[in-house]
Chain A
Amino acid sequence: MFAARTDTIAAVATAMSDSGIGIVRISGDDAIAIADRVYRNAGGKRILTDYDSHTIHYGFITDEDETVIDEVMVSVMKAPKSYTAEDTVEINCHGGVLMMRMILERVIKAGARIAEPGEFTKRAFLNGRLDLSEAEAVMDIIHAKNDFALRSSVNQLKGSVSGMIRDIREEMIHEIAFIEAALDDPEHFDLEAEGYRDILLKKVKKIMKQIRYLIDSSEDGKLLKEGIRTVIVGKPNVGKSSLMNVLLGEDRAIVTDIAGTTRDILEETVSIGGIVFHILDTAGIRYTEDVVEKIGVDKARNAVENADLVLYVADSSVPVDDNDRDIFDMIREKKTIVLLNKSDLNPVVSKEDIMSLMQSVTGRVIRTSMKNGTGLEAFIGAVKEMFFKGDISYNDEVYITNMRHKEALQNAYDSLVQVHKSIEENMPEDFYTIDLMGAYEKLGLIIGESVEDDLVNEIFSKFCMGK
């Protein structure tokens, strides 16, 4: 299900980068009331509701215990004279990923919901703020943003996390099916006889603990593969895995002299000069008939598409060939650092050779030797420079995805609190499944699964029903 139009949504309206000013935007019937809950002016009072439309105010965003989170300017725009034609509040805060996140989270806690991808634009259109001729563009935006969000939502979730959610959901649907089977066929299944209430209570408690763990993890950003998405590419056996190992400081990737050893993708999160990178080490890219290797190459292509930064490793002791040209073709338009590796061997490729190949590829070329550890300082310097110049930045979507997941987890948790309460209060069993199903549905949002006929299928496959 999706929410109705009148509820209040919030999102970061500027790019999530570590520079300049950030804006958190709130829109909907309760926008001003919600902002009021998190804002106080210099005198310590909360009075946004009293201000006129289109006014801007100095003040602070505070935590629930009145601790100041940030010093801000807040603008109030009342319906219908705002972008969405709804009551809108924009919180202009100091830029910085962490700050914007904290403020957005605070706003969500105060009662707003995270906006769906493209939702501000959708509301603006549905409320008549955009020209009808823009309908197509609006639909394209919604479509593209949703596609992207969906992809990143599933892609960014750590495998262990989605596995855990899958397990929890499986356990839940089984219990729901058991109760529903008993309700549907009371002559076959007797809930009272087996002390079922206690069994369920135990399970619910356990699941609540697991979800609590996931919520806590989401606070540390442990659910997602966070950081600047960086992909290492290059032909086989040029030293990609060695680069990964150097960055990690341990022998994780398999390094051999046989071309094509890294057939799958290895991924790690590392901090280089205080900046967090999520690094993927891909299979070497070359024309191949080997099915397994081919899959690895396809995966590499995918990874490059989603990357914020590409590290292209080339072997300076081997002449440039068609495979290099293919790779350059693949990383077109991408922010790239080329590492001209194996500088300890006789170089046959010069910086200039590479530059001429790069053309539309933006970035720089650095000579390195992974074996001797030379050139690494220059590399780290280059990365830092790109980051502080704003050439590369954290991906906004990761944070938003993380918040969406957290919101879903919290909703699932709240549903389970309700189940727990129903059991403790000795309510009849049919009340439990209503909220269990709610939790099941919300957890499904995280791993991109809807409910469909799950329950009926589970009932029929696990329990022998009917006369």
Chain B
Amino acid sequence: MPEIREKVDICVVGAGHAGCEAALSCARLGMETVIFTVSIDSIALMPCNPNVGGTSKGHLVREIDALGGEMGKNIDHTFIQSKMLNRSKGPAVHSLRAQADKAEYSRRMRKVLENQEHLTVKQAEVCELLTEECGNDPSKADEGMHMRRITGVKTYTGAVYECKAVILCTGTYLKARCLCGEAITYTGPNGLQPANHLSDSMRSLGIELRRFKTGTPARMDGRTLDYSKMEEQFGDEKVVPFSFSTDPKDVQIDQVSCFLTYTNEKTHEIIRANLDRSPIYAGIIEGTGPRYCPSIEDKVVKFADKERHQVFIEPEGLHTNEMYVGGMSSSLPEDVQLAMYRTVPGLENCKIVRNAYAIEYDCIDPRQLYPSLEFKNIKGLFSGGQLNGSSGYEEAAAQGLIAGINAARSVVGKEPVVLDRSQAYIGVLIDDLVTKENHEPYRMMTSRAEYRLLLRQDNADLRLRQIGYEAGLVSQEVYEATLHKKEQIEREMERLKNTVVGAAKENQDFLKAHGSAELKTGVSLAELMCRPELSYEMLEEIDKMRKPLPEDVIEQVEIEIKYEGYIARQLRQVEQYRKMERKRIPDDIDYNDVGSLRLEARQKLIAYKPVSIGQASRISGVSPADISVLLVYLEKYKNNK
């Protein structure tokens, strides 16, 4: 039978937020790349909330941008409202969140993809992964499993694309099933065509799949809502862009409002009375859902004593009347949905445009992956996004970017780029996924980052531009600008630490005026800045030598000086942490040869093949004593080689 046969470097399966970043990074690194999607119209689709960013997710977007990804730029072009969350808290937890014009977001990303050199966009369902044997898989030798290498993919129509690497970014499409009460449809999100064949191909290659679920609320016809009964919520007066490359002047646009309303006892009554018709409580759903985004029925059951829950009404875009009902995702039947939504103030006469639904899909246990996001048992096969058991657009994009960079590097035989937990939220995200046991769609949270004072959204460029530059995604010009910024910050901090002000009357008057203790001896400007009541800006009055500096430089100087003690402590912890990360565990280690390991530790180490002593120490069931034993063994091993 005649068939299409093409030869490329890399194939990306899926064009959601992970797939887009993956494909763009591969193509930008010079790889001939094809990105497959079941529907060209669903590129960078936002099938759930209309936000990009949010607590800790805003950090991810900043990091993606610093590394040379697209998400930050895309939202800067298409947002319709923006807010910096947690402004009253410490700088480590400030997070940007924007409302996107969904259609525009998708359209702009599509345009970027379509115009990217080396990138081909193809509408086709990939059904099969093509591989060949390449040696034994040491950990599964007794099961007769061999290491395999990717050689290409095959589409439903029979076309074969030979390639050196494949990145799976299948999102929620694998064997997807949507539930709205008793009505069950076998479709992907938003009624799109699911991918029903790839799961079997993956299984036949020894990949273990599991089932997760997530859900989304209804969309309303905006004309049927009464906003006078809700609290209007505005964007920030001064918008901060996501991308370090966006000129802040370009994002000061007219913004739209969101609205806040609440459920009430009546809402809860309706839900409780109809729980038996909820597919979750009726036991029809088998997948595990995220605790972070509980459905409204979950909230009512688990937090029965709460009298009301917040409901956020958010526009889906400028050119549509559809409004997103944040906080009320559900898989209850259509009639219950309508009744329950109509109990909410402002929604009494609402008309539903799209029903709320739950979706179930196949995904992998990501502990089958190396931190590079390559499968441990299949060379050249990478995966990112919801397939890895995460949730959220930003988490997906972050993984897509890293998978893309590393797939491209694997093609040319370079070592993968792996960010560690002290470098980036992306590092925390991927390390958690590939190391820890996780039973639900994983969402990023600031509390998951142990060194969060260092991993701020404001310094993502300083942390990661260099890595992006070395990987080849950040231009020389941008990189040098970052170096220049770094230098300015350091120089200004030096100056502030070395400039001593004395007890001159002018200084004492200044301090008195700001309610700050007067000086007895000379102190540095930096020491004054540490006082809670004083800031860099205020000190201008007594800082005669000051030269004007860009705002972003001043921001860094202020944070680094004000929180120096805390930051220094975290830096010391990072030093300890890195020592263990640097101790690599060789691929061919045989844990059965390590005498004194406890059985549980041995089993876990064999199953999850940690790449470093640090990673091994984070696997549950591996104790500090096991780590000591392992250190001794590695020493012997190294010397025997």
Q: Is the CB of B89 within 8 A of A430?
A: yes
Residues of chain B whose beta carbon lies under 8 Å from any beta carbon of chain A: 49, 55-56, 85-86, 88-90, 92-93, 260, 290-294, 299, 302-303, 306, 309-310, 312, 326-327, 329, 436, 445-448, 452-453, 532, 566, 570, 576-577, 579-580, 594-598, 617, 620, 623-625, 627-629, 631-633, 635-636, 639-640
Q: Is the CB of B628 within 8 A of A142?
A: yes
Cα–Cα, bound, A459→B326 (Å): 20
Given known A-B contacts A122-B631, A464-B299, A183 and B294 have beta carbons under 8 A apart: no
Selected interface stretch from A131-139, A285-293, A350-358: A131-139
A449-467 residues with Cβ-Cβ distance < 8 A to B are 452-453, 455-456, 459-460, 464-467
Of all chain A residues, the one with the shortest Cβ separation from B576 is A4
Of all chain A residues, the one with the shortest Cβ separation from B328 is A467
User: Can you report 28 residue pairs joining A to B where beta carbons are below 8 Å apart?
Assistant: A1-B576, A3-B576, A4-B579, A119-B628, A125-B635, A132-B636, A132-B640, A139-B596, A146-B623, A146-B624, A183-B86, A184-B447, A185-B55, A186-B85, A186-B89, A187-B85, A187-B312, A188-B310, A426-B532, A428-B88, A428-B93, A430-B89, A431-B90, A431-B566, A455-B447, A456-B445, A465-B292, A466-B290
A187-226 residues with Cβ-Cβ distance < 8 A to B are 187-188, 192
Q: Is the CB of B294 within 8 A of A143?
A: no
A180 in the interface, Cβ–Cβ < 8 Å? Answer: yes
Given known A-B contacts A184-B447, A455-B447, A459-B447, A146 and B639 have beta carbons under 8 A apart: no
A95 in the interface, Cβ–Cβ < 8 Å? Answer: no
A427 in the interface, Cβ–Cβ < 8 Å? Answer: yes
Which 6 residue pairs across A and B have the least CB separation, nearest first?
Answer: A146-B625, A143-B596, A428-B90, A135-B636, A460-B291, A139-B596
Q: Is the CB of B639 within 8 A of A132?
A: yes
Cα–Cα, bound, A5→B93 (Å): 33
A433 in the interface, Cβ–Cβ < 8 Å? Answer: yes
A1-53 residues with Cβ-Cβ distance < 8 A to B are 1-5
Cα–Cα, bound, A142→B566 (Å): 35
Across-interface contacts of B299 in A (CB, < 8 A): 464
Cα–Cα, bound, A284→B577 (Å): 52
A87 in the interface, Cβ–Cβ < 8 Å? Answer: no
Cα–Cα, bound, A146→B327 (Å): 49
Q: A122-B631, A180-B447 are in contact. List 16 more A-B contacts (CB 8 A).
A: A1-B617, A117-B625, A119-B628, A132-B636, A139-B633, A142-B596, A142-B628, A143-B629, A183-B86, A185-B55, A187-B85, A464-B306, A465-B294, A466-B294, A467-B310, A467-B312
Identify which of B49, B452, B532, B628 contacts A467 (C-beta below 8 A): B49
Q: Is the CB of A142 within 8 A of B445?
A: no
Cα–Cα, bound, A146→B294 (Å): 42
Q: Which of B436, B623, B633 counts the most chain A CB atoms within 10 A? A: B623
A96 in the interface, Cβ–Cβ < 8 Å? Answer: no
Question: How far apart are B583's CB and chain A's nearest CB, in angstroms?
Answer: 10
Q: Which of A3, A125, A466 counts the most chain B CB atoms within 10 A? A: A466
Q: Is the CB of B532 within 8 A of A425?
A: yes
A434 in the interface, Cβ–Cβ < 8 Å? Answer: yes
Of all chain B residues, the one with the shortest Cβ separation from A179 is B447
Cα–Cα, bound, A352→B617 (Å): 57
Cα–Cα, bound, A465→B453 (Å): 23
Across-interface contacts of B596 in A (CB, < 8 A): 136, 139-140, 142-143
Cα–Cα, bound, A126→B327 (Å): 55
A116 in the interface, Cβ–Cβ < 8 Å? Answer: yes
Of all chain B residues, the one with the shortest Cβ separation from A127 is B635
Of all chain A residues, the one with the shortest Cβ separation from B578 is A4
Across-interface contacts of A465 in B (CB, < 8 A): 291-292, 294
Q: Is the CB of A186 within 8 A of B86?
A: yes
Residues of chain A whose beta carbon lies under 8 Å from any beta carbon of chain B: 1-5, 116-119, 122, 125-126, 132, 135-136, 138-140, 142-143, 146-147, 150, 180, 183-188, 192, 425-431, 433-434, 452-453, 455-456, 459-460, 464-467
Across-interface contacts of A430 in B (CB, < 8 A): 86, 89-90, 92-93, 446, 452
Cα–Cα, bound, A434→B454 (Å): 12
Cα–Cα, bound, A2→B303 (Å): 39
Q: Is the CB of B453 within 8 A of A434?
A: yes
Q: Is the CB of A118 within 8 A of B595?
A: no
Of all chain A residues, the one with the shortest Cβ separation from B598 is A143
Across-interface contacts of B326 in A (CB, < 8 A): 467
Given known A-B contacts A1-B617, A3-B576, A464 and B628 have beta carbons under 8 A apart: no
Across-interface contacts of A452 in B (CB, < 8 A): 620
Across-interface contacts of B639 in A (CB, < 8 A): 132
Given known A-B contacts A142-B628, A142-B632, A464-B299, A429 and B532 have beta carbons under 8 A apart: no
Question: How far apart are A174's CB and chain B's nearest CB, in angstroms?
Answer: 14
Given known A-B contacts A3-B576, A183-B447, A192 and B90 have beta carbons under 8 A apart: no
Across-interface contacts of A425 in B (CB, < 8 A): 532
Across-interface contacts of B566 in A (CB, < 8 A): 431, 434
Of all chain B residues, the one with the shortest Cβ separation from A117 is B625
Q: Is the CB of B447 within 8 A of A433?
A: yes
Q: Is the CB of A116 within 8 A of B447?
A: no
Cα–Cα, bound, A460→B446 (Å): 14
Question: How far apart are B514's CB and chain A's nearest CB, in angstroms?
Answer: 15
Cα–Cα, bound, A371→B299 (Å): 67
Of all chain B residues, the one with the shortest Cβ separation from A188 is B310
Given known A-B contacts A4-B579, A142-B596, A460 and B292 have beta carbons under 8 A apart: yes
Across-interface contacts of B635 in A (CB, < 8 A): 125-126, 132, 135
Q: Is the CB of B293 within 8 A of A456?
A: no
Across-interface contacts of A186 in B (CB, < 8 A): 55, 85-86, 89
Across-interface contacts of A5 in B (CB, < 8 A): 579
Question: How far apart are B288's CB and chain A's nearest CB, in angstroms?
Answer: 13
Identify which of A122, A136, A187 contacts B310 (C-beta below 8 A): A187
Cα–Cα, bound, A5→B302 (Å): 47
Of all chain A residues, the one with the shortest Cβ separation from B439 is A453
Cα–Cα, bound, A267→B137 (Å): 54
Question: How far apart are B392's CB and chain A's nearest CB, in angstroms?
Answer: 11
Question: How far apart are A232's CB and chain B's nearest CB, in angstroms?
Answer: 33
Q: Which of A118, A184, A186, A425 counts the most chain B CB atoms within 10 A? A: A184
Identify which of A132, A434, A464 contacts B303 (C-beta below 8 A): A464
Q: Is the CB of B88 within 8 A of A192?
A: yes
Of all chain B residues, the one with the shortest Cβ separation from A433 is B447
Cα–Cα, bound, A185→B639 (Å): 51
Cα–Cα, bound, A237→B292 (Å): 59
Cα–Cα, bound, A141→B260 (Å): 63
Across-interface contacts of A150 in B (CB, < 8 A): 625
Cα–Cα, bound, A187→B532 (Å): 26
Across-interface contacts of A460 in B (CB, < 8 A): 291-292
Given known A-B contacts A139-B594, A456-B445, A467-B327, A116 and B640 have beta carbons under 8 A apart: no
Of all chain B residues, the one with the shortest Cβ separation from A149 is B625
Question: How far apart are B516's CB and chain A's nearest CB, in angstroms?
Answer: 14
Question: How far apart are A273's CB and chain B's nearest CB, in angstroms?
Answer: 39
Across-interface contacts of B88 in A (CB, < 8 A): 192, 428
Question: How far apart are B527's CB and chain A's nearest CB, in angstroms?
Answer: 15
Across-interface contacts of A426 in B (CB, < 8 A): 532
Across-interface contacts of A433 in B (CB, < 8 A): 447
Across-interface contacts of B302 in A (CB, < 8 A): 464
Given known A-B contacts A183-B89, A185-B55, A188-B310, A142 and B448 have beta carbons under 8 A apart: no
Across-interface contacts of A140 in B (CB, < 8 A): 595-596
Question: How far apart are B282's CB and chain A's nearest CB, in angstroms?
Answer: 23
Across-interface contacts of A429 in B (CB, < 8 A): 89-90
Q: Which of A116, A430, A456 counts the most chain B CB atoms within 10 A? A: A430
Across-interface contacts of A1 in B (CB, < 8 A): 576-577, 617
Across-interface contacts of A192 in B (CB, < 8 A): 88
Given known A-B contacts A1-B617, A186-B85, A425-B532, A118 and B90 have beta carbons under 8 A apart: no
Q: Is the CB of B623 within 8 A of A184?
A: no
Cα–Cα, bound, A135→B631 (Å): 10
Cα–Cα, bound, A142→B631 (Å): 11
Question: How far apart are B51's CB and chain A's nearest CB, in angstroms?
Answer: 9
Across-interface contacts of A116 in B (CB, < 8 A): 624, 628
Cα–Cα, bound, A59→B437 (Å): 55
Question: How far apart are A125's CB and chain B's nearest CB, in angstroms?
Answer: 6
